Amino acid sequence: MDFCKRQFTAALIAVLGLIAVAYVGVKAHLQPLFGVVIPYLALLLFFEGIIYRVIKWARSPVPFRIPTTASQHQSHPWIKRNLGEKLDNPSTFPYTVGRMALEILAFRSLFRNLRSELIETPQRPEGAKLVYWSYKWLWLGAIAFHYAFLTVVLRHLRFFTDPVPQVINKLAEVDGFVQFFVPTVYLSGVVLVVALLYLLGRRLTNPYLRYISLASDYFPLFLILGIGTTGILMRYVYRVDITKVKELALGLATLNPVIPEGIGTLFYIHLFLVCVLLAYFPFSKLLHAPGVFLSPTRNLTSNSRMVMHINPWNYPVKFHTYMDQENEYREAMYEAGIPVEIEPETAEETEPETTETEGEE
């Protein structure tokens, strides 16, 4: 089995194994474990892990601005900059907030994603030409996935609150506006799974991407795909008793856990996969969520032309200059025929001085 297939299969087997663990666990009547203990442990790991990571990141000093500009730096007043340029290369705090907002809410840097291609045609006798294309599909897949996932998570608040906030009800109403099927199909669930399949297919069909994809890239995709699929199956196909599910969820949220009888196995598989996602979060690539807030290339104002940034741990370093070098090896250099600044004869006359200065230092 080659490298790519091994990475893919390892992740797939891991997720299927997790599903099997939950299935066997529930069949062995371990509901209190899968319904109460694991969710609380997973939440604890999630919060603790994220706080640990963020504090670890914060311990790295960032003394310099990293502009990584995609546009014109602020410069002379007669070099005009439009709004886009000011947002891409902000020189003031409000524009930096704007750049962060564009990055976090609209995935600005993914929007700039390019596809490169070597074009070889008979019309080009000089050989293949490298061409860059605008390529928005990754951006579209990513933004569809993230917003669908956000909507799904927010909608799940109806299981954790009583009475359910009006905002959540409105969100669910808008999400299910197609009024297709009973219970109403929520578009976010469909978009979530379709976007995930695109993101997975992208890794599998593009040979370059397949080559750099690791098990840790596939695993979250399979895991969230598993969560989405079990959720959709539970809602539309193999129903579970939703009031009992809410009893369990509210029990967790009120710190007064209960395990109601008669919830289907599918629910526990769903819950277990969510717990695994929460616990896995602080140890994985998914940390880009808090990480984006701490990206020095995004959150620092590009004012290095206006403000002097001094390395806080800088100290004067003694340089060993060329003349020091020559003074040391003048004879040897001369004998080897290497040109020297001062001939050895001349140097001998002034030698006492040079040795003195060197001694002083």
Partner 1 sequence: MADYKNEFGWFAEKPTVEKKIYDRGKIIIGLVVFLVIFTIAFWKNLGKAIPPPQPSLKTPAILKLPEKERKCVEDRQFMREKHMRLLINWRDQVVRTGDRTYINSKGQKYFISLSNTCLQCHSNKSQFCDECHNYVAVVPNCWGCHSTKEQTVAKAEAK
Number of residues forming the site for partner 1 (CB under 8 A): 51
229-236 LR contacts (CB < 8 Å, sep 24+): 229/193, 230/266, 230/269, 230/270, 230/273, 231/152, 231/189, 231/270, 232/189, 232/193, 233/266, 234/264, 234/266, 234/267, 234/270, 235/183, 235/189, 236/181, 236/183, 236/185
Within positions 313 to 352, which residues make up the interface with partner 1, using CB under 8 A?
313-315, 317-320
CB 351 within 8 A of CB 324: no
Where do the DSSP E strands lie in the chain?
Answer: 114-119, 129-134
Q: Which is nearer to partner 1, 23 or 57 (CB)?
A: 57
Q: Which stretch binds partner 1 (CB under 8 A): 17-25, 212-220, 249-257, 336-344?
A: 249-257
Within positions 279 to 308, which residues make up the interface with partner 1, using CB under 8 A?
290, 293
Q: Which is nearer to partner 1, 262 or 339 (CB)?
A: 262
Amino acid at 236: Y
Residue 105 is a binding residue for partner 1 (CB under 8 A)? no
Q: Which residues pair with 131 in a beta bridge?
A: 117
Nearest-approach distance from CB 341 to partner 1, in angstroms: 19
Nearest-approach distance from CB 255 to partner 1, in angstroms: 7
Residue 60 is a binding residue for partner 1 (CB under 8 A)? yes
Q: Which is nearer to partner 1, 126 or 360 (CB)?
A: 360
Residue 170 is a binding residue for partner 1 (CB under 8 A)? no
Residue window 134-163: x/- pattern of binding to partner 1, with contact defined by CB under 8 A: -----------------------xxxxxxx
Q: Which stretch binds partner 1 (CB under 8 A): 16-24, 82-90, 135-143, 166-174?
A: 166-174
**Which residues, in sequence order, are CB contacts of 283 under 8 Å at separation 6+?**
49
C-alpha separations of 278 from 7, 26, 50, 89 in Å: 22, 20, 10, 35
Residue 164 is a binding residue for partner 1 (CB under 8 A)? yes
Amino acid at 78: W
Q: Which is nearer to partner 1, 168 or 347 (CB)?
A: 168
Alpha helix positions (H), 156-214: 166-175, 187-205, 207-212
184/190 Cα distance (integer angstroms)? 12
Residue window 19-58: x/- pattern of binding to partner 1, with contact defined by CB under 8 A: ----------------------------x--xx--xx--x
**DSSP letter assigned to residue 118:** E
Question: Which spans of this chain sit near partner 1 (rule: CB under 8 A)?
Answer: 47, 50-51, 54-55, 58-62, 157-164, 168-169, 172-173, 179, 182-183, 239-244, 246-247, 250, 253-256, 260, 262, 264, 290, 293, 312-315, 317-320
